[in-house]
Amino acid sequence: MISIQETGTGWRSAGSVVARRLLLDRQAEFWMGELDPVRSRAEIRARVVAVVEETEDTKTFVLRPNAAWQGHRAGQYSSVEVEVDGVRVRRCYSISSPPGEALVSITVKRVPGGRVSTWLHKHTRSGDILRLGTAAGDFVLPAATPTKLLLLSGGSGITPVMSMLRDLAARDAIHDVVFVHHARSRANVIFGEELSELAARHAGLRLVLCLDDEPSAPRGFEEARFANLVPDFAKRSTFLCGPGPFMDRAERLWENVGASALLERESFAPTTAPARMVSSVEGVRVRLARSDRAVAAKGQGTLLEQLERAGERPAHGCRIGICHSCKCRKQTGTVQNVVTGEVSSEPDQEIQLCISVPRSDLELDL
Ligand SMILES: Cc1cc2nc3c(=O)[nH]c(=O)nc-3n(C[C@H](O)[C@H](O)[C@H](O)COP(=O)(O)OP(=O)(O)OC[C@H]3O[C@@H](n4cnc5c(N)ncnc54)[C@H](O)[C@@H]3O)c2cc1C
Ligand code: FES
């Protein structure tokens, strides 16, 4: 409520009081932003409120995002940007917490020699701020929960399916779920305790842990053992996430029994090696149609790398062709896809900047 004060010169007009109040509000907003770095309308920033040691090489970072965060669906990922040795680097991490909560978690396995995972493990503490991207990805539970569900994961691939299971538990929708997880040993089962508690509480959840160090256990995914453990697997809507060879083997089994249509998979790394070493054309001119500017792409490498070297900051996530954050329309010109080797010369085609090299001058809808 605005109060109108009497001054020595009479009643001050309501308009001038409102204007002064607005100015004060803006100043307050500015100083609050200075004092509280998580505040931003444009960027998704999140304060780390807890760091949980899950296993010897995996930590969960519990985050409180600012108002720019628009939520996620169970199974989606977000990109996380950190500054490593003065360079901003971004990686994708599946959100392990269920949707609809004020706090959001990512669960990161430390990869030996890996830049971002090692940095997060070593340097990130409660109170720190991380930059996030909008939640993305179509590895999500359908709106109508399937009657028979199979969640199949290996190692850190448990993160998106754990979000799904937590979501189902929160909605009291665990009716007929089989959760099969592969790990090196019991100590390496991420969320092991919570999984056991959920299985004890929900009659509709069957938990199967496949541990490599069990006597006479096969390492990783093995068709005969799996079919024995989940005989009706081909009738279940299945969500699969884990290391590449593990997923490839599982996917072949679904193909062999003609059940591929029921299988959804999420990869953390590219499944296909680059088709060939494709050298790019240097010094091409790229017109960025939306901002009506032209830049000279710099050096060798993918279009994303060349544009970044030229000072541009196109949206991106995984940088390996998985997440589609970098997709854009190529209006004119020729690019080659480094994964498939395919050449795109037709106008108005969708390309991914992180796996395309320029072959001529280009016009992009950026
Ligand atoms: C959709 C999606 C969801 C994901 N969700 C998760 C998740 O929930 N949890 C999780 O832990 N991960 C997840 N990932 C993987 C994650 O994005 C990172 O790829 C992972 O953390 C490794 O990143 P990094 O920066 O630590 O490693 P990078 O620096 O990218 O290195 C990766 C590997 O390459 C090797 N390497 C790096 N540089 C060199 C070099 N110069 N020469 C030779 N080898 C090199 C490293 O030793 C390492 O083995 C997800 C990925 C995607 C695409
Ligand atoms: S950045 Fe993920 S597909 Fe290009």
Among 103-107, 275-279, 330-334, where is mean pLDDT lowest? 275-279
The residues with which 204 forms a beta bridge, in sequence order, are none
**How far apart are the C-alpha atoms of 314 and 348, rounded to whole Å?**
18
Sign of the CA dihedral with 60 first, then 65, 71, and 76 last:
negative
Nearest 5°: phi and psi at 322? -95, -45
**How far apart are the C-alpha atoms of 98 and 160, rounded to whole Å?**
9
* Count of alpha carbons within 13 angstroms of residue 183, beta-carbon side: 21
Provide the mean pLDDT of the chain: 88
First-residue to last-residue Cα distance in the chain: 45
Do 345 and 268 form a contact (C-beta atoms < 8 A)? no
pLDDT at position 64: 98
pLDDT at position 139: 94
Could you tell me the CA-to-CA distances from 186 to 12, 61, 155, 210 in Å, in that order?
73, 22, 11, 9
> How large is the average pLDDT for residues 239-246?
96
* Tens digit of each residue's pLDDT (9 = 90 or more) over 67-79: 999 999 999 999 9
SS3 breakdown of the chain: % helix, strand, coil, rounded to 5?
Answer: 25, 30, 45
Confidence class of residue 6 from pLDDT cuts 50, 70 and 90?
A: very low
Do 216 and 188 form a contact (C-beta atoms < 8 A)? no
* Count of alpha carbons within 13 angstroms of residue 297, beta-carbon side: 28
Ligand 1 pocket check for 268: Cβ under 6 Å: yes
Between 132 and 90, the more confident residue is 132
pLDDT at position 5: 39
> How large is the average pLDDT for residues 255-262?
97
Does the structure show a pLDDT above 60 at 22?
A: no
pLDDT at position 4: 33
Reduced 3-state DSSP string for 46-99:
EEEEEEEEEECCEEEEEEEECCCCCCCCCCCEEEEEEEECCEEEEEEEEECCCC
pLDDT at position 112: 96
Q: Where are the domains of the chain?
A: 44-132, 149-266, 285-364
Does the structure show a pLDDT above 60 at 92?
A: yes
* Listed ranges 15-19, 59-63, 270-274; the one with the highest mean pLDDT: 59-63
Ligand 1 pocket check for 107: Cβ under 6 Å: yes
Closest residue by CA, ligand 1 atom 45: 113
Does the structure show a pLDDT above 90 at 212?
A: yes
Distance 326 CA to ligand 2 centre (A): 5
Among 156-160, 236-240, 302-306, where is mean pLDDT lowest? 302-306
Mutate to test the pocket of ligand 1, among 55, 268, 271 (most ligand atoms within 8 A of CB): 268
This prediction's pTM: 0.82
Q: Residue type at 23?
A: L
Is the domain spanning 149-266 CATH 3.40.50.80? The answer is yes
The atom of ligand 1 lying closest to the CA of 116 is 25
Distance 321 CA to ligand 2 centre (A): 4
Mutate to test the pocket of ligand 2, among 78, 271, 318, 335 (most ligand atoms within 8 A of CB): 318
pLDDT at position 325: 83
Work out the angle at residue 21's Cα, subtended by the Cα atoms of residues 17 and 26, and round it to the nearest 5 degrees. 150
Does the structure show a pLDDT above 90 at 31?
A: no
DSSP 8-class letter at 45:
E
What ligand has the least distance to the C-alpha of 95? 1
Does the structure show a pLDDT above 80 at 277?
A: no
Q: Which CATH architecture has domain 44-132?
A: Beta Barrel (2.40)
Confidence class of residue 1 from pLDDT cuts 50, 70 and 90?
A: very low
**How far apart are the C-alpha atoms of 43 and 133, rounded to whole Å?**
8
Confidence class of residue 195 from pLDDT cuts 50, 70 and 90?
A: very high
* Tens digit of each residue's pLDDT (9 = 90 or more) over 93-152: 999 999 999 999 999 999 999 999 999 999 999 999 999 999 988 899 998 999 999 999
Distance 51 CA to ligand 2 centre (A): 28
CATH for 285-364, options being 3.10.20.30, 3.20.20.140, 3.30.9.10, 3.40.50.10470: 3.10.20.30
The atom of ligand 2 lying closest to the CA of 321 is 3
Distance 168 CA to ligand 2 centre (A): 29
